[in-house]
Amino acid sequence: MAKVKIRPIGDRVLVQHIEEKEQVRGGIIIPDSAKEKPQEAKVIALGTGKKDENGKVSAFEVKVGDVVLLSPYGGSEVKVDGEKFKLVREDDILGVIA
């Protein structure tokens, strides 16, 4: 993957959804419009960190390369050079997939 031209700020994390393979159930292909939004994503870049009321920056719980589980409605979708990404707050990350 080439270097991404987005640098998140604050407690934001840049992720890229992991595309699901085409779903087939009982011999019927499920169309894209009926599929659930993918909730697994790979961490691409981290912001500068969340500051507390004293100005101290907290370290992120995730790191670049982690595969994470996202809240389905959190974040903002962005498109850069034809690739789709999502900017989410660290609070929108539900967990790291081991």
pLDDT tens digits along 1-18: 557 788 999 999 999 988
What pLDDT does residue 20 have? 65
Mean pLDDT, the chain, rounded, equals 84
Q: 12-19+28-96: what fold?
A: 10 Kd Chaperonin, Protein Cpn10; Chain O (2.30.33)
- Provide the edge-to-edge strand list for the sheet that holds 93-96: 76-80, 83-89, 12-17, 40-46, 67-70, 93-96
**Looking at the predicted structure, is the pLDDT value of residue 35 above 60?**
no
Name the pTM for this structure. Answer: 0.78
20 phi and psi angles, rounded to 5 deg: -80, 150
Q: What is the pLDDT averaged over residues 45-67?
A: 91
Residue 72: C-alpha distances to residues 38, 47, 49, 76, 88 (Å): 8, 21, 22, 11, 11
